[in-house]
Amino acid sequence: MLDLNIDDIGKQILAEVADIHDTPAGAYNFRVNSQLAGRHTTENIDIMTKEGLPGIDIFIKPNTKGESVHIPVVVSESGIKETVYNDFFVGDNCDVVIVAGCGIDNCGEHDAQHDGVHRFYVGKNSKIKYVEKHYGSGDGNGKRILNPVTEVYMEEDSVMEMEMEQFKGADSTERKTIAELKAGAKLVVKERLMTHGNQVAKSDYMVTLNGENSTADVVSRSVARDTSTQAFSARITGNAPCNGHTECDSIIMDDGKILAIPSLEANNVDAMLFHEAAIGKIAGDQLIKLMTLGLTEAEAEEQIINGFLR
């Protein structure tokens, strides 16, 4: 069982955003309603409270392999508005999984807002898998607002895989992600987003490929239902011989609105950059095919969306 001073709502949120049911193995830092609710460090991974600013510094020693860091945030009191700065200093030759995520349960009248600013300094030849999930619940009138900022600075031959997921409940999100890559570095971003109700979600990527043979692949898949609004923009800039690809693929439903702006900037003759964007409703023949297998139209729709957002 989770051995922390967290109520049931907090535990449910932890399960949603970080898949945490037990105390995680490895390093962790739990932030609940702006307070530290639990921390564990290992021989190779240290976590320190920042001085002068809310947030933490995470230090991962060179050559740390096969370890993980969980830093989930829970906001379950209405009216909280916070900006938190978390910096990750990853040494050379590491292979580490980092799981972040923020859940807001707002049953009150006031808005609850968590803006997480994450900065990653990824050492040479290190490999990071970063998973970030957002979740909102609660039936109050107060809004649930999440504005994550992620900055990634990648040294030579480092690899960063980012999975960003937001499926439920956040009323408003504005995500900004910037990344700068040195020679041989590789960035892979997989964003999955589903909005409903009146939700508004913006996501903005600026990836700069500065080093020779650096590569970036930024792929977003999203579904906009009801009257929700989404705006996705991704710019890849190539300043060296490099490879960049960005793709945004969306399903639009009901009265949703989607704006997709992929863009490319090449400042080197050997920069190879590609973009793709597609928006469309669920194809009628896809629904019909699944209905011929005995699914109702609603079940067919659910299967198609679940597959699309996998």
Partner 1 sequence: MLELKNLSFSVEDGDRQKEILHDLSLIIDNGKFVVITGPNGSGKSTLARLIMGIEKPTSGRIFFDGQDITDLGITERAKLGVSFAFQQPVRFKGIRVIDLLRLAAGKTLNINEACNYLSEVGLCARDYIQREINSSLSGGELKRIEIATLLARQTKLSVFDEPEAGIDLWSFQNLIRIFENMRREIKDSSIVIISHQERILNIADEIILLADGRIKKTGSAAEVLPELIGTTAAVNACDRLK
What is the contact surface with partner 1 in residues (CB under 8 A)?
Answer: 221, 249, 283, 285-286, 288-297, 303-304, 306-310
Write down the least CB distance from residue 221 to partner 1, Å: 8
Write down the least CB distance from residue 246 to partner 1, Å: 17
Q: How many CA atoms lie within 13 A of 97 on its CB side?
A: 11
| Continuous segment of H or E residues that includes residue 303 | helix 297-308
Residues paired with residue 166 on neighbouring β-strands, in sequence order: 134, 193
Q: Which is nearer to partner 1, 48 or 291 (CB)?
A: 291
| Continuous segment of H or E residues that includes residue 225 | none
Q: Which is nearer to partner 1, 52 or 307 (CB)?
A: 307
Write down the least CB distance from residue 289 to partner 1, Å: 4
Location of structure tokens 């037990």: 22
| Continuous segment of H or E residues that includes residue 261 | strand 257-266
Whole-angstrom distance, CA of residue 238 vs CA of residue 272:
8
Write down the least CB distance from residue 188 to partner 1, Å: 17
Cα 47 to chain centroid distance, Å, stands at 21
Contact between residue 250 and residue 203 where contact means Cβ atoms under 8 Å apart: no
Q: Which is nearer to partner 1, 115 or 247 (CB)?
A: 247
Write down the least CB distance from residue 278 to partner 1, Å: 10
